[in-house]
Amino acid sequence: MSRREFISYLSAIGLLPLISFQTEKLEYVFWNARIYSEGKFLNGFVGINTQGKIVYSSTPIIGEKIIDAKGLILSPGFIDILADNALNPEKTYLIFEKYKLTDGCTTPLQMHGGSDESGQFYKLFGTKPHYTNYGVSTMVMTIRNKYPSIAVRLKKVEQNLDEGALGVSHSIEYQPTEYSELLAYAKLAAKYKRTFFLHLRYSAKETELEGVREAIKIAKDSDAAVHIDHIHSTGGTYNMPKALDLIREAIQSGLKITACVYPFSYWATYLPSKRFDPGWQQRYNLTYSDLTVVGTGETLTKEKFDLYRKGYNRLVAVPEGTINLKNTVELALKEDFVMIGSDGGIESEPLANNHPRGAACYATALNYALKIQMPLEKMLYKIIDLPKSLVNGAMKMRGKIQNGYWADLVLFNPKTIQGKATVANPNQFSQGIEYVFVNGKLAYQKGQLINMAGKSIVYPPNQ
């Protein structure tokens, strides 16, 4: 509805005098929305001013465009701390950001991979248009591949932190690393007040809790905040109650530990990875025909498995139900220290070889909350507030409905919210995402990409 039409409407129903005091020009105003911020729902009205900032009012306000959001939820944009676009970001970043945006995610942050040259990353991508906000950690795996000297590796990690990297990330199941070296990376994260993001060392039933204990030891020995990546697929797949007990006890002792999950009952990874080293059938109780190439639907044979292991960087998914959601994800989400992180990203079209969570994580999470009767405000806290807390220093003016905060906003329908991406076709927009605003600009509306207004998320904060 236009401003003129809305003023006539307000005059007809007798509400026009209530807004006579408004002096600030607003580009957009949301009426009748159920407003989420900081763990609870608010009553009121939200506007976006000409600087792209939020205006919140408990009394009616008007703007150039008025959006009647009756039956919809308005919240800060979703924050993905485990987005992944590390393979060839310069060529694929717009595809990656598009599928994040259409899932309601305004700020995908690559804290599982990231960049080994953070300064160059921010410089390069600062010259490009973006659908979403963006940011990276310093990627230890790539640094270790490039530099044999531990001293040089540590110097490079510290350089990246100096140049704005949002954290330090490492995956020790895929690249086993001595504890002393791990501890040195964690101490650098602590020195710069950044989080150490860790894919644990083990995912087998007999050893996964050793990985959880190692993460706790790192937090204790380094004083770093340690985040455990996707604990339901690496660390708590078979022993989630005990894994959560260990973390809870560590937090109660004063350590800083968090974890994340994604709301899918199957994992996927690349065939050349160490996860498929000999013995994988016994570790996961799977066989060759249980593996499906994402984006093609091809079911593997031993011959195809052996061929693709030799260098074809194919990502394969295990069957739905491999992860028992009730005993892992649902259990973990009851904990205050567990949040949602996608561990994914879509990197090609028309059919990507990427897990569907790269396009559908957040709509799926909200739909899952409804299925298990979790209050939506609790799930929203886990996809906005908790992820923000891991990079809070770089996002001080984001992730909250408050005057003066950047208008990264999503308007969604709780009755229709649902992820649509599948293993056969990961490249699908989520259902129920009505509008997405990034830095105050309308970026997405009901299936249509509108504007590109994303900004870097970096230390010190780019306000």
Residue 225: inside a domain: yes
pLDDT along the chain (463 residues), means of 10: 64 54 87 97 96 95 95 98 93 98 98 95 97 98 98 98 98 97 98 98 96 98 98 96 98 98 94 93 95 95 94 89 95 98 96 96 98 98 98 95 98 98 97 98 97 96 67
Same-domain status, 105 and 177: yes
Whether 31 is in a domain gets the answer: yes
Domain count, the chain: 3
**Same domain? 202 vs 257:** yes
Whether 178 and 205 share a structural domain: yes
Query: What is the residue-averaged pLDDT of the chain?
Result: 94
**Domain residue limits at 314:** 267-318
Q: Both 152 and 194 in a single domain?
A: yes
Q: CA separation (Å) from 104 to 44, 99, 108, 343?
A: 22, 9, 10, 16
Answer yes or no: do 213 and 98 share one domain: yes
Task: Enumerate residues 6+ apart whose C-beta is below 8 A from 167.
Answer: 111, 114, 137, 138, 189, 194, 195, 196, 197, 227, 390, 391
| Whether residues 368 and 241 fall in one domain | yes
310 shares a domain with 284: yes
Q: Are residues 165 and 312 in the same domain?
A: no
What is the value of pTM for the model shown?
0.94
Q: What pLDDT is attached to residue 312?
A: 73
Phi, psi of 108 (to 5 degrees): -85, 125
> Of the candidates 71, 100, 122, which is a domain's last residue?
71
pLDDT of residue 23: 74
In this predicted structure, what is the pLDDT of residue 258?
98
Q: Is the residue at 16 inside a domain?
A: yes
Whether residue 115 is found in the same domain as residue 238: yes
Helix or strand or coil: residue 114?
strand
Residue 255 lies in a domain: yes
At position 182, the amino acid (one-letter code) is: L
Whether residue 391 is found in the same domain as residue 300: no
d(CA 122, CA 128): 10
Whether residues 55 and 202 fall in one domain: no
Pairing of the two strands 441-445 and 433-438:
antiparallel
Looking at the structure, tell me whether residues 350 and 206 fall in a common domain.
yes
Asked if residue 391 belongs to a domain, the reply is yes
pLDDT of residue 311: 79
Residue 418, pLDDT score: 98
> For residue 405, is it within any domain?
no
| d(C-alpha 93, C-alpha 243), whole Å | 35
Side chain identity, residue 108: P
Q: CA torsion 106→79→463→446, rounded to 10°?
A: 20
Question: Looking at the domain assignment, is residue 459 inside a domain?
Answer: no
Please give the pLDDT value at position 388: 98
**Residue where a domain terminates, one of 36, 71, 106:** 71
Q: Which of 50, 71, 92 is the last residue of a domain?
A: 71
Domain-located, residue 234 = yes
